[in-house]
Structure 1
């Protein structure tokens, strides 16, 4: 390092240049140290997963799980390992060619000759010899063929990517010729066997149709080509790593809006500490989305180990200078309360308050429950009438109609509260609404705030249904990957896109798409490639 006396001896211009270079070196050293620490962390996680995979294959452990559970765990570990490998490779950057050649590549089994094949031609744009002073047309002297496995429901086909080789006969005779060939098309899995269509089908089947990989393995075998679930797991892991920047951009887009829904649902997760006895831990999938009146349709799922309100604060970045400021529409769960002390306005769900009175009427024939339901019926009927109106008109009608209904309803609740026995179910239903009255009626003064949280509950319902097929999430990383991919698929669905077509197009474009323009691939902005 240059001593201070040596710097002082330099002229001002040179001293400024040296100081600038030293600052760049220090910054580069810090970046290298950070990347190395991250690589070490990921490498350690990969070593742990490899030990878990060995433990999962042991006879003692295998006896603690049903065959379906063991299949799910094995595919989760394979997928996590593939994703970790992809992340480590990305952090290390482009390795030396020597390292790439020394890496042992598994021998790929040739694709069955009986599968239908179609050729995809790749030829140079210009086949005129560019050698100085030549300009003669080049001759095709051969070709390279790379086969990729494609799949349409029930039918496997093979894409033969044919890259013609072109050379100038005139220059070749003089020993000056050069070979011209179209470049290898970029692929989301470098040198991978599957097409983007097959990858999209695997991801949609697993994360939207809730088909575990061991079931997909059987489906593909019936279609004429067996794909090992370990291979499918590797594809899922690598795609999950490649799609992560797009999911992060979707979450950033969501945080730009001032009114959001939030909800959570439990899922089972197998933790490393519980691996040997096969016990699961209760984890949660949190859902955040824009409102139904917002022209930007987006939903983001977050997989977390607990139901703590800290998860909400982290997603909304409430402890950072970029803290989200707006109105959060939720149910009555206390975990959301801590956000109100950090600048978030709370709006709660009138539909949840209604359910308390519906239970009274349905289970006990309560007259209080029946009358309360009439007030809620009136409020929700007003909302249906103004659903398609502009925001200003919605607020005006709410002020004129809904406010009157709520005023009468509130007085009635206070009067009934004095008449019902302490500790009764009726008292609890009334107190639920009275204690949250300010939050429940927030929609009257803000036209962008919905009356209920039903919109986000509709998005999270498919996850609750899918739990019957998942059995459990095999790891925290697997849960986060599933939540990320489901965010893209469900956002595509609510924007009116066919999820398979959207994901297939994104996987085709992502390898060459500029990182600075990744927002163009978000579901609410996506347009099919021409």
Structure 2
């Protein structure tokens, strides 16, 4: 009896051990499956990063989206939210095509002539050079009678007068009484932008335009001046630009006050390297911030240098501004938005860009979720194209009629797709960016003045980025601040159609 009891106890113990081992084995299997999924996701992420790196290095830089709506609906019909959405898409496409055909039928098509000469602008000054026959040829070969002018053939060619470096001598006459030899008077000196410099305002404007508009580094300008016979060291040119930027400070502050009265401001930022900055390495990243706002014809574009990208920078730049702010997805604006009660709008161009990256890493010749999202976003931009010339109230009404249903479809599709895609994949990142930015991205539906994207700020900051590729860095913080002031002056002039 005791043996039977002991045997049963041993069997029970063995069963418990087997069960524990099975549970441990199942747990290990689950762990391995989890690890394999993680490895697969990491492999897919690295593959997508590799594909994107190849695209950035060797692929076209355009973000144009060219997939046909028909291909999307035929090849990937299951990506539609439901059949009603697909039908609505088809109907919207047909209406858009019909509208496009009607518009094309009535609007004149401007075609640029291929080949041939471009007409010379009539506003350019003309210098006439008259070409005469010599004396011997002005007589008739038959009877020797003197020939008379009966007309003329005129042709034009474009001519450029090369830059000429010259010295302006300011002669100030002195006057005195010839009798008492007292009461000496001298003609007043002309006003100068840099009082203790021998650079004229025209020369300073020439150097500033060449560097900050045409992206010509100062060392190259020094070489150009040397070819014209004027030896101007690069450090002299740099000192002139810093001093000129400092003299522009009152004008920049006036422009800032005007900007902060605008109902809507665009903001963006980009990196800048400053070599000699106190308590910072030369390789440390600094930032150039740009703001743009104001009504048409009174646009202000302001650049501001800051050693960081912290949220304190937009708080300083915006002060007590409480209007509408359009930015990308950077969270550094959150504090000033909260403190001032700013209406914060997002940028659909950034959301679209992430889906374009997801589209680039999908298999060649295939369409997928990224294509559906891009197609939907392109429809939003199509509505904006129709509303471009409308007043804000009419634009908002058109958006309510056409854009809001598109946004609703996109939201339904997004909710469905978030659970179907790996978060760390290119498509997953695009979906989660769209989801996290959704309140800001849909804010344009509430106000007809809010644009669909932040392209105005990106276009304003592009000349700085192009210039940075040529002159590479600023030597000191004062040089960076001077660059910001001069860029502000030039880009504000450009924004208002001024030279």
Q: Do the structures match in fold with TM over 0.5?
A: yes
Distance 2:349 2:254 in 1: 31
Matched, 1:325 2:330: no
CA change 1:237–1:431 in 2 (3 A) is: closer
Once the two structures are TM-superposed, the CA of residue 213 in structure 1 deviates from its matched residue by: 2.4
CA change 1:457–1:444 in 2 (3 A) is: same
Matched, 1:209 2:214: yes
Q: State the partner residue of 1:356.
A: 354
Distance 2:337 2:175 in 1: 68
Q: State the partner residue of 1:136.
A: none
In the TM superposition, 1:182-221 aligns within 5 A as 182-221=187-226
CA change 1:231–1:357 in 2 (3 A) is: closer
Once the two structures are TM-superposed, the CA of residue 154 in structure 1 deviates from its matched residue by: 2.6
Q: State the partner residue of 2:497.
A: 496
Q: State the partner residue of 1:236.
A: 241
Distance 1:357 1:384 in 2: 21
Once the two structures are TM-superposed, the CA of residue 423 in structure 1 deviates from its matched residue by: 4.4
CA change 1:431–1:230 in 2 (3 A) is: closer
Once the two structures are TM-superposed, the CA of residue 301 in structure 1 deviates from its matched residue by: 0.8
TM-score normalised by L of structure 1? 0.59
CA contact (8 A) 1:271 1:280 kept: no
CA change 1:180–1:384 in 2 (3 A) is: same
Q: State the partner residue of 1:281.
A: 284
Match of 1:159 among 165, 168, 181: 168
CA contact (8 A) 1:309 1:335 kept: yes
Once the two structures are TM-superposed, the CA of residue 485 in structure 1 deviates from its matched residue by: 1.1
CA contact (8 A) 2:423 2:432 kept: no
Q: State the partner residue of 1:450.
A: 451
DSSP 3-state at the match of 1:303: strand
Q: State the partner residue of 2:60.
A: none
Higher strand proportion (structure 1 or 2): 1
CA change 1:357–1:200 in 2 (3 A) is: same
Match of 1:249 among 254, 257, 280: 254
Q: State the partner residue of 2:111.
A: none
Once the two structures are TM-superposed, the CA of residue 422 in structure 1 deviates from its matched residue by: 5.1
TM-score normalised by L of structure 2? 0.63
Aligned residues: CA RMSD: 2.3
Distance 2:323 2:472 in 1: 36
Moved more, 464-473 or 373-382: 464-473
Once the two structures are TM-superposed, the CA of residue 260 in structure 1 deviates from its matched residue by: 0.6
Structure (1 or 2) with the larger CA radius of gyration = 2
Structure number with greater CO (CA < 8 Å, separation at least 6) is 2
Q: State the partner residue of 1:267.
A: 272
Q: State the partner residue of 2:386.
A: 385
Kindly provide the CA deviation profile for residues 328-375 of structure 1, in whole angstroms up to 9, marking residues without a partner as x: 111111212222211122111011111121122222145111111111
Distance 1:196 1:274 in 2: 36
Distance 2:201 2:494 in 1: 19
Once the two structures are TM-superposed, the CA of residue 438 in structure 1 deviates from its matched residue by: 1.5
Distance 2:383 2:316 in 1: 36
Distance 1:423 1:233 in 2: 46
DSSP 3-state at the match of 2:172: strand
Distance 1:380 1:414 in 2: 22
Once the two structures are TM-superposed, the CA of residue 386 in structure 1 deviates from its matched residue by: 1.4
CA contact (8 A) 1:357 1:369 kept: yes
Q: State the partner residue of 2:42.
A: none
CA contact (8 A) 1:280 1:472 kept: no
DSSP 3-state at the match of 1:285: strand
CA change 1:167–1:269 in 2 (3 A) is: closer
Distance 1:466 1:482 in 2: 11
DSSP 3-state at the match of 2:315: helix
Distance 2:197 2:286 in 1: 34
